[in-house]
Amino acid sequence: MVVYEIRAPLWPEKTASFTSKEMKKTGSRMRDCRFCVLAEEPLVESKTGLRILKAKYPYIPQHCILAPRDHVLALHKITKKQFDDIFMMTGEMIQNFQHATALWNFGVVGGQTLKHLHIHLICSNVQESKYAQLKSAENLIADPLSLPILVESGLPVIGNGYDTAFSSRIHKNDLYDFTKNTITQLFDGFFHLVQSRMYDKVHKYGYNYHNLERLTWLYGVSADNLNDIDFLISNMVTAGLGINLMISECNKDTFKIHIMPRATSVSPTETLSKRIAGLELFHQTILTRTKLAPDIEIEWEESQGEFYKQAQKLLNHYS
């Protein structure tokens, strides 16, 4: 399989920069949360408490992060008004930057490493980036339980039984209810799968055994193990259900949304090179952090600075 490798700078760890004023707002109990203490520099903060932040560890130069000022875990913990505010700002970024996508990871299995709601805004074509190159890989973009969960949830399946997602075009007024109901369905499907174990073979849901063989390196078990739902549930699900969500298009009235359930977890003891989340899944990429040549690093920083100026100008009316 051919995937894209993104070569991003190996950023040194930065000291979290925050003011006493900010700490009074967030409270000392949030001291360890990177988004609460503003380790990422804000580009814009809206009157409703949403921030567009410079990505501390960007994938490409045109990368920023949307996060609420208040410490909140995930989308299911916010009100409809907060939800609408988030996706109004998200939609504006997608409409104004060609090929932009919004990526959201929920749960450890879904690749969420920070317990503060945040959405990655990738505001350029990842695969056409000068920092991307084609690379042959066995495969790193799949979860053997994604398809069974979708089937048990009663949701239509878009995909080839390999990197499978549920996609739909939704009117803006319906997005909150759609997202809430779909996530509920996925949890129901996951628990039904766990409780009933009606099928003992993953391929009964449409997987090709050869595809499973190509995933063995990622999960560190045999193809037979990956083909056995009972084994996966008993041995590989370490943190319940995870979800990856992407919004790829937005116009005056609708969003195009893609949702992929996740349950087969890469061991938390593995290196981050085996972490699979929204970027890898939806853009078919491998993210490699490396020391860039000095001229390339300067070029990266210049592109990043220009993007930040554009984003600030675009969203200035929210301040």
CATH superfamily of 2-8+34-318: HIT-like (3.30.428.10)
Q: How many residues does the chain have?
A: 319
Given this model, what pLDDT does residue 309 score? 94
Confidence of residue 140 (pLDDT cuts 50, 70, 90): low
Given this model, what pLDDT does residue 163 score? 57
**165-179 pLDDT per residue, tens:** 888 999 999 999 999
**159-208 pLDDT per residue, tens:** 544 457 888 999 999 999 999 899 999 999 999 888 876 667 887 787 77
Strands lying side by side in the sheet with 63-68: 42-45, 50-54, 63-68, 119-122, 101-106, 242-250, 254-262, 166-171
Query: In the chain, where are the structural domains located?
Result: 2-8+34-318
Close Cβ partners of 264 (under 8 Å, ≥ 6 residues apart): 109, 143, 144, 145, 219, 226, 232, 236, 237
Residue 20 has pLDDT above 70, yes or no: no
Confidence of residue 27 (pLDDT cuts 50, 70, 90): very low
